[in-house]
Structure 1
Amino acid sequence: MAEQERARHPWTSVRAIVACVTATLMCLIPGGAHADDASPPDHCAAVPFPVPNGVMGATLCLPAAGPTDRVMVLLPGSNYNHTYWDFPYVPQTYNFRRAMNAAGYATLVVDRLGIGASSRPPSMLVTATGSAQALHEIVQALRRGLAGAQPFAKVIIGGHSLSSGIDVLEASTYHDVDGVVLTGFSHALNVPEVLGVMATYQQAVQDPRFAGSGYDPGYLVTQPGTRARDFHAPDDADPDVIAVDESTKDVFAPTEYPDGLTSTIPPMTNLVTAPVLVVNGSLDRLSCGPGYAVCANAETLYATEAPFFGPTARLRTFVLAGSGHSVNLARNTAEYQAAVVEWADSILE
């Protein structure tokens, strides 16, 4: 990709976003679709990781084609669990994990604390910094070998939305990964839209799906029926996918947001020394700035993001045309899957 002219951006608005998001979130604290071939193959194994405040659940999947020394560690964003990467509906289209396995990459899909197969500590103990520290330990464990797998020489970490911020924290602190995929992430957050999405959150204990599940009032979840607007673009989302998205949604702790959002304040991303791929949907209401101008195409996204990464990041960008925030669940997600594989192959040659 040709180098774009670098122009520094003021940081007042980003800091205001962090403060506003934090304050607003803290104020909130006091099936119709059918799956298609959704069961995991035999080469997948559950791998729990003990961490200071509990256990993080994870699943390691090895390519059916044979051994590999390459692995992707995938964390879901807030309001999602492992199903975001290992989607059960029409998996030949929407299952990112399977696409990476088919391309010859092992995958480790990890649930953040409080969601999915992970334990549920008090919400105030769950932070993005804690997740980044745990991710570092997971990376080191993969390099040593675990769950009967050979040690992995090449480790790429991938995140979505909040967990992209976790990936930035890990990569900028420990410098122990070979690549970083950041999706639903940019330095041009759309403040009104971010606040609008936040307004759709409620305490998890108020949602019938999570009533009696043991969550304390600090855990939040999207209100029923709001995810289509929050995370999808109508013309690029299958109604059945949105239904499965709703049925598999998960909670998050707002204490994950303050340090997670600081990943967009310098010098955080400038300190990432591994190659980086930034991916957004062209109609991502959260990450594409007013009027979606930042995500008009890969070139405009690159021009916005390039000033915030150093030369060793070898920044690449990709825009999935027509997609909303959740690029894994767009009708044309195969284009983004292919872009990730092409990028990963290029940096690990």
Structure 2
Amino acid sequence: MRLFWRRIGAATAACLGLSALIAPIPAGAAEATCRDLSIPVSLLDLPLLGLDQTMYGRLCVPAGGSRTVQVLVPGGTYNSSYWDISHSPETRSYRRVQNKAGFATLALDRLGTGRSSKPLSALLTAFTQANAVNHVVKAMKSGSLGPRFSKVILGGHSLGSAVSVIVAASHRNVDGVLIAGQLHRLNLTGIVPTLTTLTPVLLEPKLGHLDPTSLTTAAGLRYTAFHRGGPLDEAAIAHDEANKDGLAAGEAVDGILLGTLLPLSRQITVPVLLAMGGDDQVFCGGLLGSDCSSAEALKRFEAPNFAPAARLRTFVLPDYGHSFNYAPNAPEFFQATARWAEEMVGR
């Protein structure tokens, strides 16, 4: 009988592909301390063309402190709230799990969104966003804004992952990279419904403070854009709709071309965790998409895009689509990330 149960446990771990990463995270004794930061950044590091801006971040530090901070970059039409979802936060807050695991977190608003400064959207690309995020990384390591961290894990979702890849590959000043919701192959049939949900922010009155050339998802199409493949939780989708933000067209263009289709990721020389929703309609399955049926299958597709130094790990969260922080089983992803971060980077 003992042998039977051992085999069952081994098979379950193999299906997930991260047997060492899925054990529950012990809860911290006290809540993290959070504060808002306004971080000086630049779109370009060129004389007279620095185009100085400020990037908003919500810094949360565990009660016992931490030497490592996770700098978190949201995807297109999202802002920092994606990393700390207030609807059912005990299930959907990535930030809470990482803080309880002993990591500080800094959730950012990309330039042009949320409480960050809003330059002309024509100036915003994945590369200029990456330059700004690099300033944030340097500030976290230097302690110029108060807390000083010896290590930075850079994490992104979707477009935020493309930005993170560019930072890690170009500046090489981070200690680990989380790539969520972004692969090197697109499901050409599945991405079309997402693209057709985009509309100018001019048609969304609550986003009238954004550059009028920015894009967002049309009202009522949030599930179609980002949650297909998962259950329709109307309350969660309504929360996502209420917190949606903007996207500059230029970000999407070079984010896809350079952050996704080209193997810029091969220049990353620190540990990488690549995580996907198993039913992501943008990158998985369909016409030319990747195999996201398991962590092992995903790694076979993606490993050629990373150098051996990245020590690539993969994780697949079953039964959800693109924005899988909203998934009912999202804690599996959150805990796996915390285990990976502790093993590969440390607290």
What does residue 155 of structure 2 align with? Answer: 158
Q: CA RMSD in A?
A: 1.8
Question: What SS does the corresponding residue of 2:252 show, helix, strand or coil?
Answer: helix
Structure-1-length-normalised TM-score: 0.84
Question: What SS does the corresponding residue of 1:48 show, helix, strand or coil?
Answer: strand
- 1:146 deviation in Å? 4.3
How do 1:224-303 and structure 2 match up within 5 A?
A: 224-233=219-228, 235-261=230-256, 262-290=258-286, 294-303=291-300
How do 1:165-204 and structure 2 match up within 5 A?
A: 165-204=162-201
Structure 1 residue 45 and structure 2 residue 40: aligned? no
- 1:235 deviation in Å? 4.5
Amino acid at match of 1:47: L
Whole-Å separation in 2 of the counterparts to 1:268 and 1:235: 30
Whole-Å separation in 2 of the counterparts to 1:273 and 1:42: 31
Q: Return closer, same or farther for 1:228/1:342 CA change in 2, 3 Å cut-off.
A: same
Question: CA offsets per residue over residues 23-51 of structure 1, 9 Å max, x none?
Answer: xxxxxxxxxxxxxxxxxx67111111122
How do 1:115-154 and structure 2 match up within 5 A?
A: 115-149=113-147, 151-154=148-151
What does residue 10 of structure 1 align with? Answer: none
Question: What SS does the corresponding residue of 2:270 show, helix, strand or coil?
Answer: coil
Whole-Å separation in 2 of the counterparts to 1:272 and 1:335: 26
Structure 1 residue 316 and structure 2 residue 313: aligned? yes
Structure-2-length-normalised TM-score: 0.84
- 1:209 deviation in Å? 2.1
Q: Which range is displaced more, 253-262 or 241-250? A: 253-262
Identity %: 41
Question: What SS does the corresponding residue of 1:192 show, helix, strand or coil?
Answer: coil
Q: Which range is displaced more, 186-195 or 277-286? A: 186-195
Hey, which bits of structure 1, 4+ residues long, moved more than 4 A?
none
What does residue 75 of structure 2 align with? Answer: 77
Whole-Å separation in 2 of the counterparts to 1:313 and 1:218: 37
Amino acid at match of 2:78: Y
Whole-Å separation in 1 of the counterparts to 2:253 and 2:214: 15
- 1:333 deviation in Å? 0.0
Whole-Å separation in 2 of the counterparts to 1:237 and 1:343: 30
Question: CA offsets per residue over residues 263-299 of structure 1, 9 Å max, x none?
Answer: 2244401111111111110110001131776101101
Amino acid at match of 1:247: A
Whole-Å separation in 1 of the counterparts to 2:232 and 2:163: 27
Q: Which runs of 5 or more structure 2 residues have no equivalent in the other structure? A: 1-12, 15-30, 43-50
Question: CA offsets per residue over residues 81-103 of structure 1, 9 Å max, x none?
Answer: 11100111111111111111111
Q: Which runs of 5 or more structure 1 residues have no equivalent in the other structure? A: 3-40
Amino acid at match of 2:294: N
Structure 1 residue 63 and structure 2 residue 58: aligned? no
- 8 Å Cα contact 1:238/1:331 also seen in 2: no
Whole-Å separation in 2 of the counterparts to 1:50 and 1:153: 20
- 8 Å Cα contact 1:179/1:276 also seen in 2: yes
State the aligned residue count. 307
Question: CA offsets per residue over residues 72-119 of structure 1, 9 Å max, x none?
Answer: 000100010111001111111111111111110000111001111112
- 8 Å Cα contact 1:236/1:332 also seen in 2: no
